[in-house]
Amino acid sequence: RKLSMGNGAEKGENFEACGGSRIMVFVRLRPMGKKERENGSRCCVKVLNKRDVYLTEFTNDNDYLRLKRLRVRHFTFDSSFPETTTQREVYSTTTGDLLEAVLEGRNGSVFCYGATGAGKTYTMLGTVENPGVMVLAIKDLFAKVRERSLDGNHTVHLSYLEVYNETVRDLLSPGRPLILREDKQGIVAAGLTQYRAYSTDEVMALLQRGNQNRTTEPTRCNETSSRSHAILQVVVEYKTRDASMNVISRVGKLSLIDLAGSERAIATDQRTLRSLEGANINRSLLALSSCINALVEGKKHIPYRNSKLTQLLKDSLGGSCNTVMIANISPSNHSFGETQNTLHWADRAKEIRVKGCEVNEEVVVQVSEGPDQAKLVLELQEEN
């Protein structure tokens, strides 16, 4: 299944006359956990035909045997992944095509959305045995770069950052909060580490270390906060020469985003601190929702400025970008409310239209520039 690239690349229901394309929305159901099985959870979600999701509402009864079915709701998405789906299947269906676009100098982004425990981090980062989208994308990227090494010169840079409590932090080199600035490429976090990556091997360890740097709950040691958003940015620069031998540079950016838990911040221990954090998390997620609503309604003004998260994601949502949403859900009837919210949200996200996706390309050196060009060609040769 090809992603719609806008600009007439693909016609059909995905494509709007104005040249926009809609975002792709996927749902991933995780398997029932051991604890859930032990505490008598009942499965309330079924995925059929890789598209249809059926959500069953049971009567609110603690006695498993007396549970009755109240109603069943039906949703449909670009693809829906049942609990048996492998990490590679999720990666190749959701992100494989995006990577091609990024190599051509376009932007792309993949979001994981869902309640805490629904499988967002598993989907994005995964484990050493079962690496997730972030790791598989980088692996795939290096393989593709190797295949294309004769056409030009690619460089890959990684940045990994967190938005927690309306503060932006560098996960690759933790320290003081980063300040967001607007430059000609859009909003950037000043001083953010751009790690030059050469191979896949180093990346899993790097990302896992980065993930450990995510803010932890003070009350629950070692547990990653469900209120932190993590964003991995993979920037691929491709330098080559066009027909007239000008040196051109194309820059594509892939953003992979593990959003904070979408549940409402209730049942908190240290009330004051928590309510502040809760409010701020709601602020980032609420801002994301209102941007999505504004995009769905085709509004001129999209309120990106309302939170750090939406500022950072400006070029990944409404800009010239291919966007993918993965909604993560749990099968347990104990998570029914959250699952229902997530499915409603994902259903609404299907309506978002984005502008056609442009190539970020510029001529770095004109042939007529003579000596400079000679220098750059030499540089190119050296790098190769």
Binding site residues, ligand ADP, CB under 6 A: 30-31, 33, 114, 116-122, 226, 261, 328
Q: How far apart are CA 163 and CA 225, in angstroms?
A: 11
Alpha helices in the chain (DSSP H): 34-38, 87-94, 96-103, 120-124, 133-147, 201-212, 271-296, 308-312, 314-317, 336-349, 371-383
Nearest alpha carbon to residue 47 among 71, 69, 74, 24: 74
Shortest distance in whole angstroms from residue 119 CB to ligand ADP: 3
119 annotated as ligand-binding: yes
114 annotated as ligand-binding: yes
C-beta of 41 vs 121, nearer to ligand ADP: 121
C-beta of 252 vs 261, nearer to ligand ADP: 261
For 219-222, the CB contacts below 8 A with 24+ separation are: 219/269, 219/270
Both tokens assigned to 228: 């932190």
- Position of minimal CB gap to ligand ADP: 119
Shortest distance in whole angstroms from residue 5 CB to Mg ion: 30
Shortest distance in whole angstroms from residue 211 CB to ligand ADP: 10
Beta bridge partners of 169: 162
Q: How far apart are CA 214 and CA 227, in angstroms?
A: 10
Shortest distance in whole angstroms from residue 42 CB to ligand ADP: 18
Shortest distance in whole angstroms from residue 343 CB to ligand ADP: 15
116 annotated as ligand-binding: yes
Q: How far apart are CA 344 and CA 350, in angstroms?
A: 10
Give first-to-last CA distance, the chain, whole Å: 34
120 annotated as ligand-binding: yes
117 annotated as ligand-binding: yes
Q: How far apart are CA 218 and CA 271, in angstroms?
A: 13
Binding site for Mg ion (CB under 5 A): 120-121
DSSP code of 129?
S
**Distance of CA 67 to CAs 29, 130, 337, Å?**
22, 35, 16
Q: How far apart are CA 148 and CA 143, in angstroms?
A: 9
Shortest distance in whole angstroms from residue 79 CB to ligand ADP: 15
Partner that binds at residue 122, options Mg ion, ligand ADP, none, CB closer than 5 to 8 Å by kind: ligand ADP
Shortest distance in whole angstroms from residue 107 CB to ligand ADP: 24
Both tokens assigned to 99: 């990577």
C-beta of 101 vs 118, nearer to Mg ion: 118
Q: How far apart are CA 282 and CA 315, in angstroms?
A: 21
C-beta of 248 vs 265, nearer to Mg ion: 265
C-beta of 258 vs 315, nearer to ligand ADP: 258
Partner that binds at residue 319, options ligand ADP, Mg ion, none, CB closer than 5 to 8 Å by kind: none
C-beta of 59 vs 127, nearer to ligand ADP: 127
DSSP string for residues in 137-187 = HHHHHHHHHHHTTTT-EEEEEEEEEEEETTEEEESSS--SPBPEEEETTEE
Shortest distance in whole angstroms from residue 199 CB to Mg ion: 26
Partner that binds at residue 30, options ligand ADP, Mg ion, none, CB closer than 5 to 8 Å by kind: ligand ADP
C-beta of 113 vs 238, nearer to Mg ion: 113
Partner that binds at residue 160, options ligand ADP, Mg ion, none, CB closer than 5 to 8 Å by kind: none
C-beta of 240 vs 341, nearer to Mg ion: 341
Asked if 131 contacts 204 with a C-beta cutoff of 8 angstroms, the reply is: yes
Binding site, annotated residues:
114-121
Binding residues for ATP: 114-121
